[in-house]
Amino acid sequence: MARARGANAVMAMAFETTYGTSPGSGYKKVPFVSAALGEQQNLIESDLLGYGREPQPPARDVINNDGDVVVPLDLRNFGTWLKLVFGNPTTTQGVAATGTITFSAQPAPNATVTIGGAPWTFASNGVTGDKSLIGSTLQETLANAVIGLNKSATAALTGQTYALDLTGTIILITSKTIGTAGNSVTLAAGTSPASNGTVSGATLSGGSASGPYNHVFASGALSLPSASIEVGLPEVPSYGMNFGAMVDKVSIQLQRSGLLNATLSLIAQGETRATTSGAGTPTEAAIERFSQFSGAIRRDGVPLGNVVSGTFTYANGLDKVEIIRSDGRIAGADPAMLAVTGQIGVRFADTTLLDLAVGGTAVELVFEWSISASKLLRFVAHAVYLPRPKLPISGPGGVQATFDWQAAKHATLGKTCTATLINDVGSY
């Protein structure tokens, strides 16, 4: 008799039209690292007296099917899990127009750069409106500019996102609109006073209606999909079809090296077991994993330096509908208050984050992994609040601060979190 081996275990999933009803087709084979799904029914110790010291038979308790599934963050398959976490995405094919402004030196006071016809001024004092403060270094000056540009309310500036490259000398500009519309956004760098900036071209460029697919998942959906997930052990053979599965929480660990995985905490209604697969012949997508080393964390568009570790957690706060029914199972799981939380550990090199924590200022945090510009995964927490941390000194080595952050609904965007997956998959 063959023994089951994890190396040969298979997982397939399909979205349900009706909660708790496994579809007859449409299954996808999904890669996984570990799985702890399956029905569990505990025993309740007998409380009867009067029958001597020998125990009476126990009673059976309710049936639960909760467990974690660890999956890789990969280019194509992870979109299926994102749909289970957030609901249906908005998908647009194409490429957003981009451009850059590269600076060779500090801009002079009152120098300007112009984006979409709107001037942005570098000032030595009196920063109001579309202005930013000139810092003690070029990197500090451009960081101030990027943060200000991302928060500007000027119509010509709000159509783009702005980021600072790792060298701190280039402002990266990306149209928020996928396609050719962004190609008309003009760029200019002032020469009197000298901005010392060089634009990549007269306008943003590269915007196209063809190319990769941009899948945008937004937080806050009032209803969430459910799926049937089959875990198969073909040697036995034994196949467990977990139906009514919904994602309660997804957590991602950020570090400098290692494999990049996500832990999904699921709540399912039940499980049926069979000796043959109920998934038929599932479709399969090529695996192309994102890597920890390609990760980036940005605060309001500026690379967050000195980060040594972190976590990102999105929780749907599922509320089990635990009613009295003959099969002992739940009737469903309703989305309650969502939560977007995490932790970042940083080497204490400056007081930037500490000042934001003390001031109670909300910031935008971006967590991103990329293989190329057309192969990318990004999570954005739009309004993050940082706690005031302790600064423990435990020895002669570096001092680290840990920020256990919480995100909230952005006042303008009306959402807490957005996930974007760019790949070659047409739809989810």
Confidence of residue 168 (pLDDT cuts 50, 70, 90): very high
Total domain count, the chain: 2
What DSSP state is assigned to residue 259? B
Same domain, 83 and 103: no
Examine residue 179 and state whether it is found in any structural domain, yes or no.
Answer: yes
d(CA 177, CA 185): 11
Domain contains 232: yes
> How many C-beta atoms lie closer than 10 Å to residue 161's C-beta?
19
Do residues 100 and 83 both lie within one domain?
no
Which of 171, 186, 211 terminates a domain? The answer is 211
What does the pLDDT read at residue 79?
Answer: 98
Rounded distance between C-alpha atoms, residue 352 and residue 265, angstroms: 34
Q: Is residue 51 part of a domain?
A: no
Domain's final residue, options 186, 211, 236? 211
CATH at 165: 3.30.70
User: Does 282 lie in the same domain as 232?
Assistant: yes
> Tell me: the pLDDT tens digits for 195-241?
999 999 999 999 999 999 999 999 999 999 999 999 999 999 999 99
d(CA 30, CA 78): 9
- Provide the pLDDT for residue 319: 97
pLDDT 10s digits, 297-309? 999 999 987 888 9
How far apart (Å, rounded) are the C-alpha atoms in residues 135 and 18?
Answer: 58
Question: Where does a domain end: 165, 185, 211?
Answer: 211
pLDDT digits (tens, 9 = 90+) for 377-414: 999 999 999 998 877 777 787 778 889 999 999 999 99
Q: What local confidence, expressed as pLDDT, does residue 358 receive?
A: 77
Q: Is the pLDDT of residue 351 over 80?
A: no
Sorting pLDDT into bands at 50, 70 and 90, what band is 337? very high
Which percentage of the chain shows pLDDT scores above 70? 99
What pTM does this model have? 0.93
Q: Is the pLDDT of residue 1 over 80?
A: no
Structural domain containing residue 369: 12-41+66-87+221-423
| Residue 413 placed within a domain | yes
Please indicate, yes or no, if residue 174 is contained in any of the structural domains.
Answer: yes
Q: Say how many C-beta atoms besides its own lie within 10 A of residue 307's C-beta.
A: 20
Mark whether 387 and 250 lie in a shared domain. yes
